[in-house]
């Protein structure tokens, strides 16, 4: 009779299966990479992640960007760990995953989020022990030595960078970290093309053409777009912006069934490369709207720093009861003309 597998042996078996699939993907290309990703998604993952797969299409999205088990990937601002749980096992043996987190500074919220992410990595060392945590600066500084990675992925970060006024700095940091010919994959909430783009993205949406021009002005070149994360049910006009929709549900129970039926936001999926023969200066801004000049942090978009509360998320209206009318202790018949009731 065969002895039952212990938890340690089961974990080792899982890792071996992923390793073998990753090794095959190194030589077989996208199909074997897809099989490796399917195997990762089939393993133990949080129920919240599984529910979001229908909106985020992680396998098709990562294959569109061209990820492989040997890829050296910088994942920018991986707050929830959704993509960390998928990419880290894929590249663990032959590649590398760098997690670019925000420096906590004096923010208790950011410090707690950074600690929570490190706890995630420590929870399954057989899968995440090779993830390297680095600090992604907001001033255009260096996140890694130049040319350290061949892929940078950012999911729904652009609208936050615009709100903070640091989009140009963020892309400058990414440009230096990427090796020539490297891929930049960008996913974000797609704004209404018939409405002028708010440079601060107060509703959380960014027009696709605006995003393309902004990123190309940083020196990147667009090579492909995908509709894999499109959602035609998203009307983009909600009381609390994109945060009205799942998974945030900013309005709480108000209209929750309606917003749940819409699902997560309509998103563009853009693939850029860093040209091998880098231009001496970034491309000029083209288009009818004002060029996104070098921004100042908290200058025109917000007056808050990076924290738990987004500066442009709509708040629920506070209903206050009407103030009671004050009664005068002196009867109206005995008051002099123009006399008001005394204040209390």
Query: What sign does the dihedral 141-142-146-151 (CA atoms) show?
Result: negative
> What is the pLDDT, as a whole number, of residue 255?
97
Tokens of 227: 């509709």
Assessment of whether the complete model's pTM goes beyond 0.85: no
Q: Which position has the higher pLDDT, 260 or 281?
A: 260
Going by DSSP bridges, is the β-strand pair 96-101/149-155 parallel, antiparallel, or unpaired? unpaired
> What is the pLDDT, as a whole number, of residue 106?
74
Residues 6+ apart with CB under 8 A from 265: 189, 190, 204, 205, 231, 234, 236, 242, 245
Residue matched to tokens 């509360």: 309
Residue 318 to residue 171: CA distance in whole angstroms: 39
pLDDT range class, residue 313, cuts 50, 70, 90: very low
Contact 121, 128 (CB under 8 A): yes
Contact 189, 266 (CB under 8 A): yes
Tally of CA atoms within 13 A in the half-sphere of 107 that contains its CB: 17
What value does the mean pLDDT of the chain take? 83
Q: Would you call 344 helix, strand, or coil by DSSP?
A: coil
pLDDT digits (tens, 9 = 90+) for 74-84: 999 998 899 99
Tokens of 277: 């023969």
pLDDT digits (tens, 9 = 90+) for 206-223: 999 999 999 999 999 999
Q: Identify the helix (H) or strand (E) that includes residue 316.
A: none
% of the chain at pLDDT higher than 90: 68
Residue 252 to residue 201: CA distance in whole angstroms: 22
Nearest to 213 by CA among 204, 205, 222: 222
* Exposure letters 93-126 (e unless 16+ CB within 10 A, then b): bbbbbbbbbbebeebeebeebbeebeebbeebee
> What is the pLDDT, as a whole number, of residue 217?
97
| Fold classification of 47-310 (topology level) | Rossmann fold (3.40.50)
What is the rounded average pLDDT of the residues 326-333?
61
pLDDT digits (tens, 9 = 90+) for 33-44: 999 999 999 988
Domain ranges of the chain: 47-310
pLDDT digits (tens, 9 = 90+) for 158-202: 999 999 999 999 999 999 999 999 999 999 999 999 999 999 999
Going by DSSP bridges, is the β-strand pair 96-101/72-76 parallel, antiparallel, or unpaired? parallel
pLDDT of 303 higher than 80: no
Distances from the Cα of 143 to the Cα of 106, 147, 172, 174, 175, angstroms: 20, 11, 10, 8, 10
Residue 116 to residue 119: CA distance in whole angstroms: 5
């Amino acid at each position: 009779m065969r002895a039952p597998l212990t938890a340690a042996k089961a974990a080792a078996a899982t890792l071996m299966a992923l390793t073998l699939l990753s090794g095959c993907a190194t030589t077989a290309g996208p199909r074997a990479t897809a099989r490796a990703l399917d195997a990762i998604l089939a393993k133990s993952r949080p129920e919240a992640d599984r529910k979001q797969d229908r909106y985020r299409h992680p396998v098709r999205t990562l294959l569109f960007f061209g990820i492989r088990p040997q890829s050296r990937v910088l994942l920018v601002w991986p707050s929830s760990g959704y993509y960390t749980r998928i990419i880290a096992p894929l590249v663990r043996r032959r590649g590398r995953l760098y997690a670019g987190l925000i420096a906590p500074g004096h923010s208790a919220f950011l410090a707690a989020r950074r600690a929570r992410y490190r706890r995630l990595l420590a929870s399954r060392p057989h899968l995440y022990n090779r993830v390297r945590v680095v600090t992604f600066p907001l001033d255009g500084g260096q996140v890694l030595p130049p040319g350290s990675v061949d892929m940078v992925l950012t999911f729904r970060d652009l609208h936050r960078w615009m709100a903070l006024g640091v989009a140009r700095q963020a892309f400058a940091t990414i440009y230096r970290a990427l090796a020539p010919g490297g891929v930049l994959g960008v996913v974000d909430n797609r704004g209404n093309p018939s409405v002028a783009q708010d440079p601060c993205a107060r509703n959380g949406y960014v027009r696709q053409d605006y995003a393309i021009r902004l990123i190309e002005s940083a020196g990147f070149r667009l090579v492909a777009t995908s509709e894999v994360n499109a959602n035609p049910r998203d009307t983009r006009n909600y009381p609390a912006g994109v945060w009205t929709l799942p998974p945030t549900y900013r309005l709480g129970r108000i209209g929750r069934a309606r917003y749940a039926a819409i699902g997560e936001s309509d998103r563009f999926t853009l693939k850029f490369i860093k040209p091998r023969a880098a231009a001496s200066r970034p491309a000029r801004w083209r288009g009818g709207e004002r060029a996104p000049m070098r921004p100042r942090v908290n200058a025109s978009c917000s007056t808050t720093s990076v924290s738990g509360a987004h500066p442009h998320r709509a708040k629920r209206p506070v209903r206050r009861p009407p103030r009671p009318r004050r009664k005068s202790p002196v009867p109206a018949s005995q008051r002099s003309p123009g006399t008001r009731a005394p204040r209390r």
